[in-house]
Structure 1
């Protein structure tokens, strides 16, 4: 049975409960990718798609777990937006990312559709973002299937990921999966975490998603700054598949 919350942890490179390893460290392919291109190895999305997926999250975000990390970043960005001022990574950088308060709509426990269902929506947003540059053709999907088979994430997760990779982009389905304003912010945050939008297609996807979610431009700027601050600095990712 698919566990959306665990899959979200896997996609963000979160710690596997009871171990000191992340999921991407459990395959030889992923370990080699980490050696060759450490900045792209912070998420299972990078392992599967070989794209310039977002830089590795800082330790504090990883420790929270995928769903809590996305919620915490979304809440942090919203608070920064509410406080006004010009968003920059330096303004929002903190030594530790805190979870969203339990009494706010940003906390996963407040999800009207349930935590697991919303975690699934975040996963779908991340996969959509990861393939936004359009490089995933039939041959690439075959290579991805081979990588998934060696990732030990389980048959249900494998089947789900392959199905999502083959599915045409449905921006409306992504948008309607967010039931509250807080979830709209979290959905965009998850998509932005997945990629560094260094192509026109990726930037276009994020702009379209923000527009359909009806997020104010200033709020999007704060999300951008907050996400950038939550990632390990250190250079520009190399695009393994498209280079």
Structure 2
């Protein structure tokens, strides 16, 4: 099995706070906080060149809204997704027990930062995910790629460009095969939903899908709405995930 956790870190721009501006894929420019620019900076610092960052940029697009803040990007991909899903879930549960519209109490989960690592025993800790952390990383990568397909920008020409970048990236054969298979296969919501073995995993799948895309087009909005419905996520929890994602973008 390839190191899916490391690949997820690269996709989510785990750049350790590096902020250099770089030219994005396809000639589009991304700022220092751009999720894909962070990924490219990380790979350069590790001697990996720009290839995997370019793959991620092609897969997820280069919209200015796809950003993660300077602080949040230091978490690492899996830790970030687990942390924001955990915080969203805690806020959702707290909100169920208070009057609608009431201001959050001091010290409440809504005022706490996204945790670097969800507590053990919560179902969000990487060591407690069914199948282990690497299997979970595969699930999250698949969810991100599926979300990227929602707006239809990955056509046959774009696939060929991505395949060329995969060949340049220095990935091992299993990682290459995984990415190519995910790209070649049609969007399969059933596959993504079937990976949600627990409510916590369902929340993380939705969270990483939302991180991958900005719902500013009808197709993307429809995809996220359908995904939430198929994952049986309550509307209140979806709202809290949206708030947590925005916090990650701003932190």
Residue 215 of structure 1 deviates from its aligned partner by 0.2
Counterparts of residues 48-63 of structure 1 (less than 5 Å): 48-49=58-59, 51-52=61-62, 55-63=66-74
1:198: which partner in 2? 216
2:77: which partner in 1? 66
- Does the 8 A contact of 2:166 with 2:176 survive in 1? yes
- Does the 8 A contact of 1:52 with 1:195 survive in 2? no
- Does the 8 A contact of 1:145 with 1:162 survive in 2? yes
- Does the 8 A contact of 2:85 with 2:207 survive in 1? yes
1:128 equivalent to 2:146? Answer yes
Residue 80 of structure 1 deviates from its aligned partner by 1.1
Residue 134 of structure 1 deviates from its aligned partner by 1.1
Which of 36, 47, 63 aligns to 2:57? It is: 47
Equivalent residue of 2:66, what SS?
coil
Unaligned runs of 5+ in 2: 40-52, 103-108
2:46: which partner in 1? none
Find the aligned partners of 2:140 and 2:120 in 1 and give their Cα distance. 19
Q: Normalising by structure 2, what TM-score?
A: 0.77
Q: Which has the larger radius of gyration?
A: 2
Find the aligned partners of 2:228 and 2:68 in 1 and give their Cα distance. 22
Find the aligned partners of 1:69 and 1:50 in 2 and give their Cα distance. 18
Distance change >3 Å, CA 106–CA 21, structure 1 → 2: same
Find the aligned partners of 1:151 and 1:93 in 2 and give their Cα distance. 40
Residue 122 of structure 1 deviates from its aligned partner by 0.7
Distance change >3 Å, CA 95–CA 180, structure 1 → 2: closer
Q: Normalising by structure 1, what TM-score?
A: 0.80
Counterparts of residues 66-85 of structure 1 (less than 5 Å): 66-84=77-95
